[in-house]
Chain A
Amino acid sequence: MKLSPRHTLTGAAAVVLLAAAAACSSSGSSPSSTSSSGSSSFGVNATGTVQFWARTVSKTLAQKLVSEFNATHKNLQVKLTLTSINDDVTSLATSIRAGDPPDVVGLNDIDVPTFTREGAFMDLTQYINALTYKADLSPGHVGLATYNGKEYGVPYWADLSVLWYNKTLFKEAGLNPDDPPTSYAQILSDAQAINKLGHGVNGFTFAGDCQGCLGFTVQPGIWADGSYLTSGNIDSQTASITGNQALVNALTLYRQIWTQHLVPDNDRTDNGTTWGQDFAAGKIGIMPGGYGQVVNLVKPSQLGSEFMDTPLPGTNGGYSTFDGGDDFVIPAAAKNASGAWEFIQWVMQTQQQDQYPALGATPVRTDVLTPAFSTANPEDAVALKALAKGYAPVTLVYDQMFNQAGGPWFQMFSTAVYDGNMSLALQQGQSGLTRLLQQAS
Chain B
Amino acid sequence: MTTAARTTRTSRPGTWRPAGTRAASGPSGRPGGGRGNLGRAGFALYLTGGTLAALVFLLPLAWAVLRSFMASSLVTQAPSASDFSHLTTANYSGLIQTNDILHYAGNSLAVAVGTGLLTAVIATMAGYGFARFRFRGSGVVFALVLVTMMIPFQALLTPLFLEMHSLGLTNNLAGLALFYTTFNLPFGVFVMRNTFLQIPWELSEAAAVDGASAARTLLSVLRPLILPGIATTVLYAFLFSWTEFVGALTFITSDNLYTLPLALLNMEYGSVGQVNFGYLEAGAVIAMVPCVLLYIGLQRFYIRGLVSGVVKG
Residues of A that sit less than 8 Å from B by CB: 12, 15-16, 56-57, 59, 81-85, 87, 90-91, 94, 97-98, 100, 159, 210, 212-213, 216, 271-278, 280-281, 289-290, 292-293, 296-297, 360
Q: In the complex the two chains form, is A280's CB within 8 Å of B270's CB? A: no
Total residues of chain B contacting the partner, CB 8 A = 28
A251 to nearest B CB, angstroms? 21
Residues of B that sit less than 8 Å from A by CB: 72-73, 76-77, 157-159, 161-163, 165-166, 249-250, 253-255, 262, 265-266, 269-275, 277
Q: With CB as the reference atom, state the residue of chain A lying closest to B246.
A: A87
Q: In the complex the two chains form, is B255's CB within 8 Å of A82's CB? A: yes
Cα distance A16–B270 in the bound complex, in angstroms: 36
Q: Out of B73, B162, B265, B273, which one reaches A273, CB within 8 Å?
A: B273
Q: With CB as the reference atom, state the residue of chain B lying closest to A55.
A: B271
Cα distance A266–B187 in the bound complex, in angstroms: 41
Q: In the complex the two chains form, is A293's CB within 8 Å of B272's CB? A: yes
Cα distance A306–B273 in the bound complex, in angstroms: 24
Complex contacts, B157 vs chain A, CB 8 Å: 90
Q: In the complex the two chains form, is A274's CB within 8 Å of B162's CB? A: no
13 pairs from A and B in contact (CB 8 Å cutoff): A12-B162, A15-B162, A16-B162, A56-B269, A57-B271, A84-B249, A85-B269, A94-B162, A216-B272, A274-B275, A274-B277, A293-B270, A296-B271
Q: In the complex the two chains form, is A97's CB within 8 Å of B162's CB? A: yes
Complex contacts, A15 vs chain B, CB 8 Å: 162, 166
Q: In the complex the two chains form, is A296's CB within 8 Å of B270's CB? A: yes
Q: In the complex the two chains form, is B254's CB within 8 Å of A81's CB? A: yes
Q: In the complex the two chains form, is A275's CB within 8 Å of B272's CB? A: yes
Complex contacts, A297 vs chain B, CB 8 Å: 270, 274
Q: In the complex the two chains form, is A274's CB within 8 Å of B274's CB? A: yes
- Known pairs A94-B158, A278-B76; A213 contacts B272 (CB<8 A): yes
Q: In the complex the two chains form, is A277's CB within 8 Å of B162's CB? A: no
Cα distance A281–B269 in the bound complex, in angstroms: 18
Cα distance A276–B166 in the bound complex, in angstroms: 44
B243 to nearest A CB, angstroms? 16
Q: With CB as the reference atom, state the residue of chain A lying closest to B265.
A: A85
Complex contacts, A56 vs chain B, CB 8 Å: 266, 269
Cα distance A272–B276 in the bound complex, in angstroms: 11
Cα distance A301–B196 in the bound complex, in angstroms: 67
Cα distance A98–B164 in the bound complex, in angstroms: 11
- Known pairs A15-B166, A82-B255; A210 contacts B161 (CB<8 A): no
Complex contacts, B269 vs chain A, CB 8 Å: 56-57, 85
- Known pairs A16-B162, A56-B266; A272 contacts B271 (CB<8 A): no
Complex contacts, B158 vs chain A, CB 8 Å: 90, 94
Q: In the complex the two chains form, is A290's CB within 8 Å of B265's CB? A: no
Q: In the complex the two chains form, is A83's CB within 8 Å of B271's CB? A: no
Q: In the complex the two chains form, is B266's CB within 8 Å of A293's CB? A: no
B102 to nearest A CB, angstroms? 19
Q: In the complex the two chains form, is A272's CB within 8 Å of B266's CB? A: no
Complex contacts, B165 vs chain A, CB 8 Å: 98, 100
Q: A59-B266, A275-B272, A296-B271 known; 19 other A-B pairs, CB under 8 Å? A: A12-B163, A12-B166, A57-B270, A57-B271, A82-B255, A84-B249, A85-B265, A85-B266, A94-B158, A94-B161, A271-B273, A275-B274, A276-B272, A276-B274, A277-B274, A278-B76, A280-B73, A290-B271, A293-B272
Q: In the complex the two chains form, is B273's CB within 8 Å of A275's CB? A: yes
Q: With CB as the reference atom, state the residue of chain A lying closest to B266.
A: A56
Cα distance A355–B183 in the bound complex, in angstroms: 47
Q: With CB as the reference atom, state the residue of chain B lying closest to A87.
A: B249
Cα distance A281–B83 in the bound complex, in angstroms: 14
- Known pairs A81-B254, A277-B76; A292 contacts B271 (CB<8 A): yes
Complex contacts, B73 vs chain A, CB 8 Å: 277, 280-281
Q: In the complex the two chains form, is A82's CB within 8 Å of B162's CB? A: no
Complex contacts, A84 vs chain B, CB 8 Å: 249, 262, 265-266
Cα distance A278–B255 in the bound complex, in angstroms: 31
Cα distance A47–B242 in the bound complex, in angstroms: 40
Q: Which of B165, B262, B266, B271 has the most chain A CB within a 10 Å cutoff?
A: B271
Q: Which of A56, A57, A84, A216 has the most chain B CB within a 10 Å cutoff?
A: A84
Complex contacts, B161 vs chain A, CB 8 Å: 94, 98
Q: In the complex the two chains form, is A273's CB within 8 Å of B163's CB? A: no
Q: Which of A83, A94, A212, A213 has the most chain B CB within a 10 Å cutoff?
A: A94
Q: In the complex the two chains form, is B77's CB within 8 Å of A281's CB? A: yes
- Known pairs A84-B265, A277-B73; A293 contacts B271 (CB<8 A): yes
Complex contacts, A271 vs chain B, CB 8 Å: 273
Q: With CB as the reference atom, state the residue of chain A lying closest to B73.
A: A281
A55 to nearest B CB, angstroms? 9
Q: In the complex the two chains form, is B273's CB within 8 Å of A210's CB? A: yes
4 smallest beta-carbon distances between A and B, as pairs: A272-B273, A273-B275, A57-B271, A274-B76
Q: In the complex the two chains form, is A91's CB within 8 Å of B253's CB? A: yes
- Known pairs A12-B166, A56-B266, A278-B76; A83 contacts B253 (CB<8 A): yes
Cα distance A90–B162 in the bound complex, in angstroms: 12
Q: In the complex the two chains form, is A81's CB within 8 Å of B275's CB? A: no
Complex contacts, A277 vs chain B, CB 8 Å: 72-73, 76, 274
B143 to nearest A CB, angstroms? 15
Q: In the complex the two chains form, is B273's CB within 8 Å of A212's CB? A: yes
B77 to nearest A CB, angstroms? 7
Cα distance A247–B249 in the bound complex, in angstroms: 38
Cα distance A84–B255 in the bound complex, in angstroms: 9
Cα distance A212–B271 in the bound complex, in angstroms: 12
A4 to nearest B CB, angstroms? 15
Complex contacts, B166 vs chain A, CB 8 Å: 12, 15, 98
Cα distance A277–B249 in the bound complex, in angstroms: 28
Cα distance A12–B273 in the bound complex, in angstroms: 37
Complex contacts, B253 vs chain A, CB 8 Å: 81, 83, 91
Q: With CB as the reference atom, state the residue of chain B lying closest to A59.
A: B266
- Known pairs A84-B249, A94-B158, A97-B162; A213 contacts B273 (CB<8 A): yes
Q: With CB as the reference atom, state the residue of chain B lying closest to A94.
A: B161
Cα distance A15–B271 in the bound complex, in angstroms: 37
